[in-house]
Amino acid sequence: MKVYATYNIKGGVGKTSAAVNLAYLAAQGGARTLLWDLDPQGAATYLFRVRARVKGGGRALVRGSRGIDGAIKGTDFDGLDLMPADFTYRNLDLDLDATNRPTRQLDRLLAPLADEYDVVFLDCPPSVSLVSENVLHAADVVVVPLIPATLSVRTFDQLIEFVAGLPGRRPRVFAFWSMVDRRKRGHRELLDRLPRERAEVSEVSVPALAVVEQMANHRAPVAVYAPRSPAAQAYQRLWAELASGPDRP
């Protein structure tokens, strides 16, 4: 079982859009796929038409009084299941801090699913927290949506430093361009320069198009309602590159 986490310290950069589309493409390719919506806002859960509620909330999962397998829901798409968000996830840092191994609980919760799923995606809230550390320990690959702007790149450098400081095994960090507007000179310059300078940065870029924003209206991945759009094609290239890459650096 390979675990991907869509993560960024910054919010509003396209993490959920990436998680939903990549999970859909993985399932369409025949992989038994699970998406876990860890964000208490529950955007991915909403997009898949599932109620954002887990009986007992995050505390029950962390304390072991409820197994993750009993909370998983099916979606409208073959091979793709969803572990829903719950508003109690907003307190997940406190619940994790009360355990014996506060940075390893997601790893523990996912371990029993290894025979049921080929691929797991973790859609993560923006933060640097115990939840973040759990995600980074559980993930094989951290998928980072990167807006081509100076402050976004600075935040990416902070993430690289954060991962480098983790004890034990570390995930591979894989960044791609998100919300790209090629009319902007600064966007074009970073898209051209950074992939040549940084091995962690892919040349794949998802354009800033209304078709991506329309996911909330269609409540479906872009490839379902606009399969020929540049955005859908970008996500397909992104998944092809991720699926063929190594688990670790």
Q: Please say whether the beta carbons of 242 and 22 come within 8 A.
A: yes
pLDDT beyond 80 at 160: yes
The whole-angstrom separation of Cα 67 and Cα 210 is 38
User: Does residue 18 lie in a domain region?
Assistant: yes
CATH code: domain of residue 85? 3.40.50.300
**pLDDT tens, position by position, 84-140:** 999 999 989 888 888 888 889 999 999 999 999 999 999 999 888 899 899 999 999
Residue 67, helix vs strand vs coil: coil
Number of domains in the chain: 1
Backbone angles phi, psi at 95, to 5 degrees: -65, -40
What number of helices (H) and strands (E) belong to the chain? 12, 8
Place of tokens 């994790």: 96
pTM for the whole thing?
0.94
User: Does residue 176 lie in a domain region?
Assistant: yes
Task: Tell me the residue range of the domain where 125 lies.
Answer: 2-243
Return the DSSP state at 192: H
User: Does residue 16 lie in a domain region?
Assistant: yes
pLDDT at res. 178: 96
User: Does residue 249 lie in a domain region?
Assistant: no
User: Does residue 248 lie in a domain region?
Assistant: no
- If you average pLDDT over residues 68-74, what whole number do you get? 90
Q: Angle of helix 185-197 relative to helix 150-164, nearest 10 degrees?
A: 30
pLDDT beyond 80 at 249: no
